Structure 1
Amino acid sequence: MKPYRSMLFVPGHKASWADKAVASGADAVILDLEDSVPVADKAAARETVRETIGRLREQGVRADVWVRPNPLDTGLFGADAEAVLVPGLAGLFLPKVFTAEDVVRIDAVVSHLEQREGIDAGSVGLFITFETAVSIAHCEEIAQATPRVASLLGATGPNADVGRELGFEFTAEGLETLYTRSRIVLAARAAGLHHPMTGVWQDIKNLDGFRRFAEDSRKLGYRGMVCIHPSHVAASNEIFTPDPKTVDHCRRMIEAFRAAEAKGSAAVDFEGQHIDIAHVKTAEGVLALADAIGV
């Protein structure tokens, strides 16, 4: 999966909101068929989302388009997938997964629909959100359930699904979710998924709080935020974009190491720091991220 600094939720039944989401500068938009769509509007929302995916594809928008279907255990997932598996869909943003078996079953459905719709095999990704105690307890197996898994979401937030499931009391400092968020980052990296995401920040007007939460998440190893309001996108993009000074530092470090290597040295004193191949590999990762984002 390409690196996303920001993904923005959009109620699936509100077609015009998708255009606002794209205009916000989000790297990806998530057309939601789950919590933000009233039960009475679910069927109509499927058709709206299908049309929106086609329209955005025709417009050639920069943002990737994902869809959050209803969970597998609701009986609504099949109809959701039938409606939205069309060209232009980057993948399914899966809520309330429980086990790796759930992911394998969904993978089979997606594979069938890809073939039926003439979509390249394996091109529709699965983004796993950890909102249940069972899924968090099995996050390692879930992360590796199928090559179709593109990324993981270390979800947190007051009074939402994961908070109710785990029974924690949300704080801005996040110590109550530090273990689960850290474990999900580890599961992602162990599965070769280098761009885990976190979210969501529900206090819409508290942008300072959002920034602190995003910065803390970046330090923990997350590479972007799932947002619920357009006003959060710019801050998320800024926080998860490598700083130009850091990028320049990494370029100079690599150049210094390669020059020393050419003279037969496996380490170099770079601006007072001992640098060897391990540090160079880390720097190369920063440059790869910067290049992917376009810094």
Structure 2
Amino acid sequence: MTSTTLRPRRSVLYMPGANERALEKAKGIDADALILDLEDAVSPDAKVEARERVCAAVQSGEYGHRELAIRVNGIGTQWHADDIAAAAAAGPDAVLVPKVNSAHEVIELVAALERAGAPEKTKLWAMIETPVGLLHAEEICAAHERLTVLVMGTNDVVNETYGLHVPGRNPLVLTALSLSLLAARAAGKVIIDGVFNDVKDLEAFEAEARQGREMGFDGKTLIHPSQVEPANVAFAPSEEDIGHAREMISTFDEAKAAGQGVVTFNGRMVEELHVRDAQRILAFAEAIASR
């Protein structure tokens, strides 16, 4: 695992860029990452003020361990170019762009960040949320090394395919998530699951977070602070997972040192790939502990 993929992004919380109180409150929320939003959460007449407020928040240095991304307005909107320029000057950890549909757009976005003088630490994150973007997810992921994270826009996926929001998510959404996850993994990128809309139903949120973890997502985007702790739990290895990983590695090492060709652990055959997964679990647990 690289330093980019190892960094915890279990809980990625959207915060409205126009709301000064929310930006202040975010400093005390134990999310792994914050997306300071200039797009959907900001009305057209508040875009400029929100841009200034968000950039000042990033430059304040008051958000501790939290990874900071600025979500700019989309390509082709009247605010996009100014958002990119301001975000580049502010130097967040990432700039998140909605509705990325092609590798060409990725290349153009990277070029725009570079022209605006974005520091090397400022990576590009891309939202996958349209049918076109989903069908081109593999080429989007492979377009440039500065693109490090995919963020699923599941509300837009449902909207643009005329589907329905249903418990467990409808088959097309699950297909979209699966294809995007395969594209991300093929290119060595991080991928974050979409939001859950009902902030009052934590039980259903926890079920969807578990589903995302079981599918292989690195974390989940969130719309309310109450979802942070359940997401942190769902996407982190449990104490049982950590103990199991340690025992497996120890058993494997002992067996290999003794010249055994076949290694069994708890009655199951263990191969190198199982050990690599156990090592990944331990490395991720250490990364969480050292945030």
Q: TM-score, normalised by structure 2?
A: 0.93
Q: Distance in 1 between matches of 2:8 and 2:64?
A: 16
Q: Distance in 2 between matches of 1:286 and 1:254?
A: 11
Aligned 1:1-295 pairs, distance under 5 A: 1=4, 2-55=7-60, 57=61, 59=62, 61-86=64-89, 88-114=91-117, 119=119, 121=120, 123-157=121-155, 161-176=156-171, 177-193=173-189, 195-294=190-289
The Cα of 1:265 is off from its aligned counterpart by 2.0
Q: Distance in 2 between matches of 1:186 and 1:101?
A: 20
For structure 1, which segment, 275-284 or 100-109, has the greater mean C-alpha deviation from structure 2 after superposition? 275-284
For structure 1, which segment, 270-279 or 207-216, has the greater mean C-alpha deviation from structure 2 after superposition? 270-279
On the 8 A contact 2:87/2:95 being kept in 1, the answer is no
The Cα of 1:113 is off from its aligned counterpart by 2.0
RMSD between superposed Cα atoms in Å:
1.5
**Number of positions where the alignment pairs a residue of Structure 1 with one of Structure 2:** 284
SS in 1 for 2:196: coil
On the 8 A contact 2:91/2:122 being kept in 1, the answer is no
SS in 1 for 2:54: helix
Q: Deviations over 1:180-209 (max 9, x none)?
A: 10001100100011x311021011101111
Q: Deviations over 1:192-249 (max 9, x none)?
A: 11x3110210111011110000001110111211001111001101111100111111
Amino acid aligned to 1:27: D
For structure 1, which segment, 105-114 or 84-93, has the greater mean C-alpha deviation from structure 2 after superposition? 84-93
SS in 2 for 1:129: strand
Q: Distance in 2 between matches of 1:173 and 1:60?
A: 34
Q: 1:291 to 1:25 in 2, by over 3 A?
A: same
On the 8 A contact 2:128/2:153 being kept in 1, the answer is yes
Q: Distance in 2 between matches of 1:175 and 1:266?
A: 45
Q: 1:265 to 1:173 in 2, by over 3 A?
A: same
Q: Distance in 2 between matches of 1:33 and 1:203?
A: 22
Q: Distance in 2 between matches of 1:101 and 1:93?
A: 16
Q: Distance in 1 between matches of 2:47 and 2:204?
A: 33
Percentage of identical aligned residues: 34
Q: Distance in 2 between matches of 1:88 and 1:128?
A: 17
The Cα of 1:87 is off from its aligned counterpart by 5.1
On the 8 A contact 2:56/2:90 being kept in 1, the answer is no
The Cα of 1:13 is off from its aligned counterpart by 1.6
Amino acid aligned to 2:13: L
For structure 1, which segment, 260-269 or 145-154, has the greater mean C-alpha deviation from structure 2 after superposition? 260-269
Q: Distance in 2 between matches of 1:214 and 1:132?
A: 22
Q: Distance in 2 between matches of 1:175 and 1:284?
A: 34
Amino acid aligned to 1:221: G
On the 8 A contact 1:66/1:89 being kept in 2, the answer is yes
Q: Distance in 2 between matches of 1:227 and 1:69?
A: 17
The Cα of 1:154 is off from its aligned counterpart by 2.7
On the 8 A contact 1:153/1:197 being kept in 2, the answer is yes
SS in 1 for 2:116: helix
